[in-house]
Amino acid sequence: MAEILFRQNLIMACYLLVGYWMYKKRWIAAEGSASIAKLLLYFITPMAIIQSFYTECTPERLRDLLLSFVLAALGLAVSMTVSRLLFGKKHAIETFGASFSNAGFIGIPLVQAVIGPEAVFYISGFVVLLNVLQWTYGVALLSNDLSYISVKKILANPALIAFAAGFFLFLSGLPLPSVLTEVMRGSASMNGPLAMIVLGSYLAELPFRKLFTDRITYFCALVRLLLIPAASILLFGCMPFVSLDVRKAVFIVMAAPVGANVAMFAQMYGGDYRTAVRPVCLSTVLCMVTLPLMAGAAEAIWK
């Protein structure tokens, strides 16, 4: 797992540099990267989730799906608790960022590469729970106002809709035309490259001096990339009854960098957008090293 993650991270780093270079050359503008991010959020990532459910429904797969939900809930509870204890309300952006990983844009393509496209099935519950928590706990944290929480926005979340559609296909066994399955497969394959190009353009917007000299940004990145994955390794190691592939898949999204949504939510609810982008970009760069290391530690402990 560690070796494959290292290789995949190098590939994703190349896409990151493409996004950085294109932004610096002014071949892609901030508006363009925002449009690509919306394409990822509303179409490409949901297609990857639905595709993972297009498989035979067996008791074993149903059991693994349920257990993946349990692991996701426990892992997110740990990450939110650790982040709240370390950062608190005073550093709401860092609390949000350390709590929620970039499961959709980075976690999904890494899981696809390490375990296989079908393994997105195991992290679909994580992606759904993460999105629900971002629109509830996350919104309350950044706005300090519970009235901003909207049930309508939660139910209209693309990840939740994709999960519902995929779960229906999984249970019903409804066959789809080959054209649609090819569209899903092709769309899912774009998730990683486009996500890294967008993050590369975000990185190009920031002065390097501010990115690499801010202590609280480093602390947030290291909590997300080292402390929370270490806690996940110990937690998941206590669950040998869960298949190794399920634990690996959920661990990868737990160890992913700070989610890009922290910047969007900060902008929506009165926070500092540029401050929020810093831990996203720094943790994305650092995860090229930390993810393979933490994955190697997980493999050694879980043997």
Q: What is the pLDDT along the chain (303 residues), one digit of tens a residue?
A: 777 788 888 888 888 899 889 988 888 887 777 788 788 888 988 888 888 888 888 889 899 999 999 999 999 999 999 999 999 878 888 999 999 998 877 888 888 888 887 788 898 889 888 988 988 888 888 877 777 677 887 888 888 898 899 889 988 888 888 898 899 889 888 888 888 888 888 788 777 776 677 788 999 999 999 999 999 999 999 998 889 999 999 999 999 999 878 877 776 676 666 778 888 888 988 998 999 999 999 988 887
Q: Domain of residue 170: give its range.
A: 2-297
pLDDT of residue 57: 85
Give the other-Cβ count within 10 Å of 78's Cβ: 18
Q: What angle do CA 2, 122, 287 make, to 5 degrees?
A: 35
Contact 19, 201 (CB under 8 A): yes
Burial of 138 (0-12, 13-18, 19+ CB in 10 A): buried
Q: Which of 269, 298, 281 is nearest to 141 (CA)?
A: 269
Report the number of distinct structural domains present in the chain. Answer: 1
In a domain, 303, yes or no: no
Specify the residue for token string 């050359």.
Answer: 25
In a domain, 43, yes or no: yes
- The C-alpha atoms of residue 38 and residue 44 are separated, in whole angstroms, by 9
What are 69-81's pLDDT values in tens digits?
A: 999 999 999 999 9
pLDDT of residue 230: 95
- The model's pTM is 0.88
Give the other-Cβ count within 10 Å of 207's Cβ: 9
In a domain, 215, yes or no: yes
- The C-alpha atoms of residue 303 and residue 298 are separated, in whole angstroms, by 9
In a domain, 178, yes or no: yes
In a domain, 95, yes or no: yes
Q: Is 160 left (phi over 0), alpha (psi -120 to 50) or beta?
A: alpha
In a domain, 52, yes or no: yes
Contact 15, 202 (CB under 8 A): no
pLDDT of residue 267: 67
- CATH code of the domain in which 97 resides: 1.20.1530.20
In a domain, 60, yes or no: yes
In a domain, 24, yes or no: yes
3-state SS, residue 258: strand
Burial of 74 (0-12, 13-18, 19+ CB in 10 A): middle
- The C-alpha atoms of residue 253 and residue 247 are separated, in whole angstroms, by 10
